[in-house]
Amino acid sequence: MNDYLDQNPKLQSLYHRFPSIENFEAQIAEKQTTFNSSHRNSLVSVLQKQYAEIEISQLTQQNIESLKVENTFTVTTGHQLNLFSGPLYFLYKIISTINLTTELKVKYPAYNFVPVYWMATEDHDFEEINYFNFRGRKFRWNTASTGPVGRLSTEGLADFFEIFEQELGHSTNAETLKKLFEDAYLKHNKLADATRYLANTLFGAHGLIIIDADEADLKQHFAPYIKEELLQQTAHKKVTETTEKLSAYNIQVNPREINLFYIEDNLRERIVYENGKYIVNNTKLEFSESEILALADSNPEKFSPNVIMRPLYQEVILPNLCYIGGGGEIAYWLELKSFFDAVKVSFPILLVRNSVLLVTEKQAKKASKLDLSWSDLFSKQIDLVNAKAKVLSEIDIDLSALKNQLESQFSILHEITAKTDPSFAGAVKAQETKQLKGLENLEKRLLKAQKIKLKDTLSRITDLQNELFPNQSLQERQANFSEFYIESGELLINKLIEKLKPLEQSFDIITL
């Protein structure tokens, strides 16, 4: 990601246009020319059906309607259906998307730009999404799931909620969170519907469109690419060529020969080609070539794209200009450019989402009182403790002056050894090494002694860092939004909307 953000020339063949406000002009013109406008009406029809049972804002309604028009384009982010939104960066991805559409409208007022959250309803790795963290505790939903998570029943979440609500307390914001959880998960039968309700409640006022692409009408438009994948395996060929160019990096995803799953309510299994047959892995289902091609035409909803094909599906059915994701997501998108070129689908601009550290006023005051900079707090804890022990110590812990003095004294001995028997030189060098090592050990013991003496202050420093970086990890990957909503209420999202600048590529520290 550093090389991408620095626009390192060795990566330039892996993306189309870098995310600058100026580059969207050409992206708009290209997408307007290449996007199949006949897809717009079915897209709007599907969205209207999916929103039929929930109340939506006037702005979201306008955005859905505007998708019928050829001068309307989307900016998209995608995310798993994590329980109660999962980690904080769920918010940051969506707000980055909303704020970019606002910036684009100012720059290009002749066009409409709508933010889209693509729900990963067809994923089936339930263990990745069935929990969230709240105040250091993990709340896990224990149930069985074998098919696509979007179709998973929410039955059993009432028992989960009874445990969670006890942790929330009885403040006004706590009651709001309880109602949000109840309305989302206890009044909707499927996880996709619950997640749509949750995201719409949090972001509907800002015009967010939430899409579940597990729809036959949308997959009808994707059917030609499904058949191409079954017959030609272009994705495997092209992505493999690209990953070979990326050997200096950690490869995010590796393509399979066929990058499609077969999908039903309780089944999502890979399609493999063996002995002239298309076989659904771990089942007795198998198809001849003509049978599986006919199925792609008649029932394209039976096919589910994997991580390699999903981005293509998105760009086929949406008039999309830009995809916003985390570093890992953008890294695997960079593997896909040659594949998109081969199947003649416009490749979107790729933008790394905003990252944020949320800080309460109390924590900010504590950091100031402890004379801690943000750079200090982002340090590794052992480095932070050692550095602060040296700063706070009343005595000089650094014995470099003594080491220099010792080396100076031994330099005189080295001059003497040059004038006598060479065997003496080894003894002198050994003694020098021993005494320098002794000083280094004394320095370490002195630092340890001062850390014991300064234990109370250093404990306050590490306690604060542990609050801000749970499990010595980024807060955005650990904490759930509810932990901050319970303290700040609607201020949380309003402050994020105000502060996040998606094209500035900054790591924001926001005090609530």
Q: Give residue 288's pLDDT.
A: 98
Per-residue pLDDT band at 399 (split at 50, 70, 90): low
Per-residue pLDDT band at 280 (split at 50, 70, 90): very high
Per-residue pLDDT band at 490 (split at 50, 70, 90): very high
Is the pLDDT assigned to residue 420 strictly greater than 80?
A: no
More confident residue, 142 or 428: 142
Interval 332-377: pLDDT, tens: 999 999 999 999 999 999 999 999 999 999 999 999 999 999 999 9
Is the pLDDT assigned to residue 425 strictly greater than 90?
A: no
Q: Give residue 446's pLDDT.
A: 63
Distance (Å, whole) CA 466 – CA 302: 47
Distance (Å, whole) CA 11 – CA 83: 36
Name which of 126-140, 251-265, 316-330, 390-404 the model is least confident about.
Answer: 390-404
Ramachandran sector of residue 153 (left: φ over 0; alpha: ψ -120 to 50; beta: rest): beta
- DSSP for 431-476 reads HHHHHHHHHHHHHHHHHHHHHHHTHHHHHHHHHHHHHHSGGGS-GG
Is the pLDDT assigned to residue 255 strictly greater than 90?
A: yes
Please name every residue paired with 277 in a beta bridge, in sequence order, or none if there are none.
274
254 close to 340: Cβ distance less than 8 angstroms: no
Is the pLDDT assigned to residue 396 strictly greater than 70?
A: no
Is the pLDDT assigned to residue 421 strictly greater than 80?
A: no
Per-residue pLDDT band at 438 (split at 50, 70, 90): confident
The residue type at 87? P
For the residues 1-22, what does the mean pLDDT come to? Answer: 96
- DSSP for 482-508 reads HHHHHHHTTHHHHHHHHH--GGG--EE
Per-residue pLDDT band at 473 (split at 50, 70, 90): very high
Q: Give residue 453's pLDDT.
A: 83
Q: What is the mean pLDDT of the chain?
A: 94
Q: Give residue 436's pLDDT.
A: 73
For the residues 220-241, what does the mean pLDDT come to? Answer: 97
Residue 82 in tokens: 């994590």
- DSSP for 277-339 reads EEEETTSS-EE-HHHHHHHHHH-GGGEEE-TTTHHHHHHHHS-EEEEEE-HHHHHHHTT-HHH
Is the pLDDT assigned to residue 498 strictly greater than 90?
A: yes
Residue 419 in tokens: 């004038």
Q: Give residue 403's pLDDT.
A: 66
Distance (Å, whole) CA 358 – CA 491: 12
Q: Give residue 95's pLDDT.
A: 98
Is the pLDDT assigned to residue 486 strictly greater than 90?
A: yes
Q: Give residue 424's pLDDT.
A: 78
Is the pLDDT assigned to residue 427 strictly greater than 80?
A: no
Distance (Å, whole) CA 39 – CA 1: 33
Q: Give residue 411's pLDDT.
A: 81
